[in-house]
A and B are shown apart, each in its own frame.
Chain A
C-alpha cells in the first residue's frame, strides 16, 4: 500500500507542468545526443549541469535523468540507419540493426528497438520502486568501512570491464583519485596540490574534467578521421514489428531486461556492458547463431532492452547508497550536490517527494520517448544527414559555454582545454577516461571513509575484513584484480571489455 501511496505522491510532483516540461526537454535532448554521433549523454549532461541550478532540484534532476535514458533510445536510430553508434551502449545494435535496414527492414528494427526499450525501461522502474526502499533501509547500517570497500569494488569492476590493459585502467583510476583530492583536505582543511592557485582551493570542477575528457577529446578524435556515413535513404515504412518479429523478440526482450537490470545495479557496470552481455547470451541461446550479424531481430531486441533496463538499474546504488556506479550517475550525483542534497539511504525518507517524483517522471519520460522515437522518426533521420564538419564547431562552442557557466570562471575553460588535450592523447595511447572520471568523483568519498574507518578502529585494518559486507566487496575486488593473471579468466575479460568513451 505504501508503494502505491508513494507512487501517487511521485506523480503529483512529476505531473506539475514545469516538471513535465523539464522531463520533455531532458528526453528530447537525450534522444538528440543519442542520435548524433560524436556527442553522448555524458557530454550533454555535463553541458546542462549548470542549467539545473536555475530550477528546483526535482526539475533539474528529472531533466538530467531524462537525458540519460533518452540517449539510450536515440542511440539505436543511428546504429540501425547509419551503422555508427550514436552512443556507446548502442555499439552492438549496429551489427544486426544495420543489416536489417539494408534488407529493407529498418522499420521493424527501429520499432522493436523502441518498444523493447519501453518494456525494459518500464520494468526497471517497477523494480527500482520495489528494490530501492528496502535496500535503503539496509544501507543505513553501512559504516565507513563498508562504504570504502564498496567504492574500491566499484572502481575495480570498472577497470576490469575497461577495454585494453588493466594496468593502464588502474593507473587512470589512481590519477582520478589524486585529481579528486586536489583542494582543501575535508578533515584538516590543509590545501593539497593547489600550487598556490586560488582557483584550485575548492578543487577541480567535475564539469571541465568531463567535458574535456569526453566532449572535446571526442571531437579531436573525430576530426582527424574522415567519417563515412552509410545512411539508409529508403523511406521507412511499417514501424510496428509483425507477429513473427514479436515471437522472435519476446524471449530476448525478457532476458535482456532482467540481465540489464542486474548489471546496471552493479558498481562499475552499466548500459554498455549490459548490451554486450545480452547479445552474447542471445547468440549462445539461439538455435541458428549463424543468423547473428546478418540481420537477426533478436540481436537488436535483446541489447536494446538490456541497455534501457541497465539505465534504470543504475539509479539504485546512487539513490540508496549515494555511490554512483558509472560516470553518468557521477554527473547526476553532481546535480544532487549542486542543490545541497546528498543521495543515500536517508534520501527516500527525508525527501520522498524528490525520490518518488524522479521515479514517476521516468514513467512519463518513457511514454514521451515512445512518441518521439516512433511517429517522429523521420525528423531524426533528417538530422542524421547533417555533416560532422557543420556539427562539431557548435559542439565545441556549447562545451565552452557549459564549462564557463558551471563556475563563471575562465580558469575552468583552460582546465577543459587541458583535459581535452590530455583525453585525446589518452585515447591515442589506449588509456580509457572512464576509470579516471569515476575515481575523480569517488576519490574524496573514498578517502574520507577510509580515514574515518581507520580513526574509528584505532588503526586496526581488520575492520575491513571483520565486517561481512566490506569483506565480501574486498574479496570480489581482489578476485577481479588477480583474475586476469589467469589465462582463461583473461580471455573472458577480453570478451566483455568495453569502451565507455563515446
Chain B
C-alpha cells in the first residue's frame, strides 16, 4: 500500500498565515490576562477568563498551523480567483473616507457623495437614476429620523442637517 504524497510546503499557504495571526492574537490575550491579574481559583481575577481563553486560542491556532503544514491549503491568490477584488477595495476606501468625514462635514454632505460613488463606481448605474437616488435616499432618511423619530444625525462644522 502506498502512502499519499505529502503536500509540498508553501509559504503563501493562506491557512498558515491566518493560523499565525490567531496565534499572535492568542499570545496577546494571554499577556493581557496576566497583566490584569489572574487571581486564584477561589477568587478569580479580571484576567482569569482572558488568560485561559488566550491559551485555548493558541491551541486552536496551533492546530490550524499544523494542519496547514501537514495537509497544505489554498494560496492567497486562489482565494480571489475569478473575483473582482478591486470592487470591495473601492468600497472599503470610500467607507473609511466617509467615516472620517462624517463628524466634520455632517451626514448630508458626506452621504450624498458616498452614495453617488457607490452607485457609479462599482457596477455603474445610469446617471439619471444614480443622481436622484444619491440625493433623495440620504435626504429622505435624514428627514424621517430628524422629524419622525427625533434622532439627530451629525450636522458637521457647517451645521447642515
List A residues at the B interface (Cβ < 8 Å): 50-51, 54, 165, 167-168, 170-171, 174-175, 177-178, 181, 185, 187-188, 190, 192-193, 216, 219-221, 223-226, 387-390, 392-394, 396-398, 400-401, 404-405, 408, 410, 413-414, 417, 420-421, 424, 428-429, 431, 446-447, 450-451, 454-455, 458-459, 461
Contact = CB atoms under 8 A, between A and B. Distances in A.
Contacts of A414: 99
Given A394-B133, A413-B102, 11 more contacts: A54-B149, A175-B22, A192-B32, A192-B50, A223-B87, A224-B87, A225-B83, A393-B118, A429-B18, A446-B49, A459-B43
Contacts of B151: 50, 405, 408
Contact of B95 (A167, A177, A396, A398): A396
A192 B32 CA distance: 8
A220 B92 contact: yes
A178 B29 contact: yes
Nearest to B48: A451
B41 A223 contact: no
Given A188-B45, A414-B99, A429-B79, A397 B141 contact: yes
Contacts of A404: 102, 153-154
B84 interface: yes
A1 B19 CA distance: 58
Interface string B36-73: 10001111111111100110110011011001000000
Contacts of A397: 111, 114-115, 137-138, 141
A196 to B, nearest CB: 13
Contacts of B92: 220, 417, 420-421, 424
Contacts of B79: 428-429
Contacts of A187: 46
B37 to A, nearest CB: 8
Contacts of B122: 223, 389, 392
Nearest to A184: B46
B145 A405 contact: yes
Interface of A, helix, strand, loop or mixed by DSSP: helix
Nearest to A227: B123
Given A175-B25, A181-B50, A417-B95, A392 B118 contact: yes
A224 B83 contact: yes
A192 B33 CA distance: 9
Nearest to B43: A455
Nearest to A168: B64
Interface string B70-83: 00000000011001
B40 A459 contact: yes
Contacts of B99: 410, 413-414, 417
A51 B151 CA distance: 10
Given A171-B61, A223-B87, A410-B102, A389 B125 contact: yes
A225 B83 CA distance: 6
A404 B105 CA distance: 15
A225 B80 CA distance: 10
A451 B42 CA distance: 9
Contacts of A171: 22, 57, 60-61, 64
Contacts of B141: 397-398, 401
Interface string B138-161: 100100010001011110000000
B42 A431 contact: no
A177 B53 contact: yes
Contact of A226 (B50, B84, B96, B129): B84
B91 interface: yes
A292 B45 CA distance: 56
B125 A390 contact: yes
B42 to A, nearest CB: 4
